[in-house]
Amino acid sequence: MQLIIENLSKTYSNGVQALKNVSLTLNQGMFGLLGPNGAGKSTLMRTIATLQEPDEGTIHFNSIDVLKQKDEIRKILGYLPQEFGVYPKISAETLLDHLATLKGISNAKERKELIKALLNKTNLFDSRRKNLGGYSGGMKQRFGIAQALLNNPHLIIVDEPTAGLDPAERNRFLNLLSEIGENSVVILSTHIVDDVKELCTDMAIINNGEVLMRGNPMEAIFSLEGRIWSKRIGKPQMADYKKNFKVVSEKMISGKPEIHIYSETPPGEDFIPAMVDLEDVYFSNIFLKN
């Protein structure tokens, strides 16, 4: 299975260019799409999901021309958008049955078996008769995955799926996505670096509608070894350090800033080599290439 995106561009009526000649090839497994809010991730996801048209470019999934054969791709597509609504006074079991019918699963016995399997897979079986309005955020996200899997999709898109989840729900959800990715092309669109680090063997970083980086997360981390340096500084010093160094990130540790900078050679001033992680890769691309 392979999804090929070539030269995709989209400019909205207000003049915002959301995508600029985006080209990506995605193979079976989990693919992480990282970028800040407003980077163009959701525009790309909606375009692949046939919910909007690009100005230019093509998308193919195996032999299907996604932009011209929308009905064909929808048969094998599962989509969990960043925000989705549920009927609060209907149970998960009832709504899944309704959605399965809409997706063309007309045999009642087949629907019942499929829904039972999906509720077990998403750990919702014991809550299947509970109204969706009483579900937690994580339970609603797992319900969203259940509805996305009703048609046994080969291409699955999940947009910011772990935003707002507590750590336990996030881990449960990521484990579920990992299992799903074994037999499908799964696109995980997010601004949460750790989600990609934990799940994906292939990724891209996008910002201002452009692909800034593409590759294996661990290889990207290795490529920055010896180029990221850290130092604890005082808050009043921050402006001077940002002026004199390529600061890629900053975070507070015990109330005191720790900065990471990019430098090809030892920068001096008591900087020490940092233990590089995917967050450094992300910020280096976002802040140094724009």
- What pLDDT does 263 receive? 93
Same-domain status, 77 and 208:
yes
Same-domain status, 85 and 169:
yes
Which of 174, 193, 215 corresponds to the end of one domain? 215
Same-domain status, 130 and 272:
no
What is the pLDDT confidence band of residue 290, given thresholds at 50, 70 and 90? low
Cβ atoms of residues 148 and 79 within 8 Å: yes
- What pLDDT does 122 receive? 85
Say which DSSP state 91 is in: B
Region 213-242: mean pLDDT is 91
Same-domain status, 124 and 91:
yes
- What pLDDT does 80 receive? 85
Same-domain status, 84 and 208:
yes
- What pLDDT does 211 receive? 95
What is the pTM assigned to this prediction?
0.85
Same-domain status, 193 and 150:
yes
Task: Using a pLDDT cut of 90, give the percent of the chain over it.
Answer: 53
- What pLDDT does 206 receive? 94
CA distance 34 to 57: 21
Q: For 243-281, write each residue's pLDDT tens digit.
A: 999 999 888 888 888 999 999 999 988 899 999 999 999
Same-domain status, 153 and 275:
no
Same-domain status, 116 and 83:
yes
CA distance 210 to 219: 21
Q: For 146-179, write each residue's pLDDT tens digit.
A: 888 888 889 999 888 877 778 887 888 788 888 8
- What pLDDT does 34 receive? 92
Q: For 51-67, write each residue's pLDDT tens digit.
A: 999 999 999 999 999 99
- Count of domains for the chain: 2
Same-domain status, 11 and 98:
yes
Same-domain status, 152 and 170:
yes
Q: For 4-34, write each residue's pLDDT tens digit.
A: 999 999 999 998 999 999 999 999 999 999 9
Same-domain status, 146 and 253:
no
Domain that holds residue 202: 2-215
- What pLDDT does 58 receive? 96
Same-domain status, 210 and 248:
no
Which of 215, 238, 253 corresponds to the end of one domain? 215
| Cβ atoms < 10 Å from Cβ of 13 | 5
Residue type at 32? G
